[in-house]
Amino acid sequence: MTTTLRRRPAQRRSAERVERMLDECAALLDEVGYEALTTKEVARRAGVPIGTFYQFFPDKRGLVRALALRNLEAFLARVADRIAAIGPEHWTDLADLAIDEFVAMKRTTPGFGVVDFGEVLPTPGGPAMPGTNHMLDAVRENNAIVADRLRELIGVPPGPETDRALLVAVEATDAVLKLAFRARPDGDPALIAECKQLVRRYLAGHLP
């Protein structure tokens, strides 16, 4: 996966500055959207010189890419915590659990409604801005990376058929949940339930 920072923070103070800039980026995405987001305002609100911003991020897109990766890592950590807490008995339980955590982040995580795992959504539920489906990697699409990370997390061995099935499941989930958040700002519960049913039934024919 393409690195998201121009350089990694070597000191705690630098790491805290990077986190503040990502926090302010997320807040501003909710307040003004992607188009009106500026590096200057992110630096001002984070309390860092603009030169410090450019030490870590090449531009606004690089900043948002780093936020998307942080979102992905937070999502995977939440799913892992839920797995450890409830010990799901079957992969279908994991599908429901992952959808629940994604929806919860959409509802509560700053900036997640505009940029979740890379795509930039000018309005809730999309469509995404052109060219933002490769925010996490220059070659592979965002959803392909998400599918791979989820496969690793749930312990499914890689393989052409399995990889394709999980990618289709992630793409379908993405599309239906976009519809759910277009229907209602907090996500339509009926459409979220349909999404779970769709993914379970599809994967039933492709995963052991």
How many helices, marked H, and strands, marked E, lie in the chain? 8, 0
C-alpha 116/C-alpha 119 separation (Å) is: 7
The whole-number pLDDT of residue 86 equals 85
List the single range of 100-104, 112-116, 127-131 with lowest mean pLDDT: 127-131
pLDDT in tens, 136-194: 998 999 999 999 999 999 888 899 999 999 999 999 999 999 999 999 999 999 999 99
User: What pLDDT sits at residue 191?
Assistant: 98
What does the domain layout of the chain look like in residue ranges? 12-204
Q: What is the pTM of this model?
A: 0.91
* Stretch 35-59: mean pLDDT: 96
Give Cα 84 distance to the centre of its chain.
Answer: 21
Could you give the CA distance from residue 4 to residue 127 in angstroms, rounded to a whole number?
Answer: 24
Nearest to 170 by CA among 149, 139, 191: 149
Instruction: For the domain made up of 12-204, give the CATH fold.
Output: Tetracycline Repressor; domain 2 (1.10.357)
The per-residue pLDDT for 1 is 38
Which tens digits make up the pLDDT trace of 10-25?
567 778 999 999 999 9
The answer, yes or no, to whether residue 2 has pLDDT greater than 70, is: no
What's the confidence (pLDDT) of residue 10? 54
Dihedral class, residue 141 (left if φ above 0, else alpha if ψ from -120 to 50, else beta): beta
